[in-house]
Amino acid sequence: MAESDSGEKEQDATPKRQQDARDKGQIVRSKDLTTAMLLMVAATSLSSFSGGIASKIADVAIAAFSPDRKHIFNPGQMIRASSDLLAEVVIAVAPFFIALFIIGLIAPMMLGGMSFSIKALAPKASKMSVPKGLKRMFGTNALVELLKGLARVAVVFLVAYFVLTDSFPKLTKLGTGSIESGIRDAMDIVTQSFFLLSLSLIVIAMLDVPYQIWKHAKELKMSKQEVKDEYKETEGSPELKGRIKQKQREISQQRMMDAVPDADVIVTNPEHYSVALKYDVMNSGAPIVVAKGQDVIAMYIRKVAIANDVTILPMPPLARALYHTTEIGHEVPQGLFLAVAQVLAFVFQLKTFNDGKGPRPKSIGEIEMPEGFTY
């Protein structure tokens, strides 16, 4: 019984499962929503540009059927004239097709976002399986698609009937007026058809979108065993843990390096250790170690300090003591208060001298380490 329960896919998809599905091109899509938006934009664009398009096409048609005599007997001029007329038509209809192109890119991404996967183009063995093929043909999804298809056919017939009935007087008079009025009336009929089709398909899309979201979530559901296996593959993977720790170290080191320019002094070994100290005068607490490192990291700390004019003092015993006893972001231990105070006093006096506000400080000399702080 427990084995049967573990095989039932009732668990919501994990973030990893969702990302894997997206990488394979399995995302929520609604063709009805895309089609409805394309038709709506097509109708809106035609309604906006129909006047200019009709006028230009009429002018081109008149020019095409009443050519200049000198063009008729000169093939080169005839080709140039034809090219010019074609260019005018292209320029006139370009805004309409540009609008369709843009919405054709945006509409599919409104549900499920942007995704491109080569894996989605690869052939799948499951698509060639006869049992699975029969299941797709007679499953719930096939029934829903059949109902949507019938609804679309019904919509097209109803819209066609309504448009033909409503526009019949215009259709019978298309050839009796001017070329421009005929083209304009024809475009009005097409625009009306697009509007009605888009409104009808929006109703279908309003039902299809929730269904596609539900269907996608259902397809990604996992069994309890799959959730356990995924956890073992990710959280329990030594490689992943190593990568996570490496990333954490990189972030920690970057944060540490960002604090070096604000330090008051860098105490060094001078080559193997570097410790950055900062003392907030407004804070009554002890000085804080804002960065520390050994070997390569120590060298980087010194480079950042030099670039930002932070004082560097070679004091090997104190540098080793601070490195081994104090974590980054922590106050220096009480046993090192006196030694650190001497260093900071010298640094502040040196800064005052450099600013031209005081005498040159005496050399700090060698500082004795208290018992228990020799390394």
pLDDT digits (tens, 9 = 90+) for 267-281: 998 788 999 999 887
Asked if the model's pLDDT at residue 1 lies above 50, the reply is no
Query: Bigger pLDDT: 249 or 150?
Result: 150
Verify that 221 and 109 share a domain, yes or no.
yes
- Residue 127 has a pLDDT of 56
Verify that 348 and 322 share a domain, yes or no.
yes
Model confidence pLDDT, tens digit, residues 23-60: 787 888 888 888 889 989 988 888 888 777 878 777 77
Chain centroid to CA 86:
41
- Residue 268 has a pLDDT of 92
For 46, residues 6+ apart whose C-beta sits below 8 A from its C-beta are 53, 96, 187, 190, 191, 194
Q: How far is CA 7 from CA 222, 225, 226, 230, in A?
A: 9, 7, 8, 14
Asked if the model's pLDDT at residue 309 lies above 80, the reply is yes
Model confidence pLDDT, tens digit, residues 321-356: 999 999 988 999 988 988 888 888 888 888 888 888
Write 95-98 long-range contacts (CB < 8 A, 24+): 95/45, 95/49, 96/42, 96/45, 96/46, 96/49, 96/53
10-19, 130-139, 286-295, 366-375: which range is least confident on average? 130-139
The DSSP string of 95-121 is HHHHHHHHHHHHGGGGTT-----SGGG
Number of structural domains found in the chain:
2
Q: Is the dihedral of CA 80, 85, 86, 88 positive or negative?
A: positive
- Residue 122 has a pLDDT of 55
CA angle 96-101-107, nearest 5°? 115
- d(Cα 227, Cα 12) in Å, to the nearest integer? 9
The answer as to whether 372 is a domain residue is: no
| Domain termination site, one of 188, 207, 232 | 232
Question: Do 302 and 268 meet the contact criterion of CB atoms below 8 Å apart?
Answer: yes
- Please report, for the domain that includes residue 275, its CATH number: 3.40.1690.10
- d(Cα 287, Cα 278) in Å, to the nearest integer? 6
Query: Bigger pLDDT: 113 or 366?
Result: 366
Verify that 274 and 135 share a domain, yes or no.
no
Both tokens assigned to 132? 């699975």
Question: Do 302 and 274 meet the contact criterion of CB atoms below 8 Å apart?
Answer: yes
Verify that 325 and 272 share a domain, yes or no.
yes
CB-based burial label for 143 (10 Å; 0-12, 13-18, 19+): exposed
Q: How sure is the predictor about 2, in pLDDT bands with cuts at 50, 70 and 90? A: very low
Verify that 195 and 319 share a domain, yes or no.
no
**Coil/strand/helix, residue 264:** coil
The answer as to whether 238 is a domain residue is: no
Both tokens assigned to 136? 């797709």
Verify that 73 and 163 share a domain, yes or no.
yes
Q: Hey, how many other C-beta atoms are within 10 angstroms of the C-beta on 22? A: 14
- Residue 252 has a pLDDT of 75
Model confidence pLDDT, tens digit, residues 53-96: 878 777 777 777 776 666 666 677 777 777 877 888 888 888 88
The answer as to whether 361 is a domain residue is: no
| Domain termination site, one of 206, 232, 258 | 232
Verify that 309 and 175 share a domain, yes or no.
no
Asked if the model's pLDDT at residue 6 lies above 60, the reply is no
The mean of the pLDDT values for the chain is 81
Strands ordered across the beta sheet of 311-314: 288-294, 273-278, 265-268, 311-314
The answer as to whether 61 is a domain residue is: yes
Alpha-helical (H) ranges within 237-368 are: 238-259, 296-307, 316-325, 337-354
The answer as to whether 187 is a domain residue is: yes
- Residue 3 has a pLDDT of 44
Expressed as residue numbers, the domain containing 264 is 249-354
φ and ψ at residue 313, rounded to 5 degrees? -120, 120
To the nearest whole percent, how much of the chain has pLDDT over 90?
11
The answer as to whether 74 is a domain residue is: yes
- d(Cα 109, Cα 201) in Å, to the nearest integer? 18
Q: How sure is the predictor about 308, in pLDDT bands with cuts at 50, 70 and 90? A: very high
Give the closest residue to 273 by CA, choosing from 323, 238, 200, 239.
323
Asked if the model's pLDDT at residue 203 lies above 80, the reply is yes
The answer as to whether 367 is a domain residue is: no
- d(Cα 235, Cα 233) in Å, to the nearest integer? 6
Asked if the model's pLDDT at residue 124 lies above 60, the reply is no
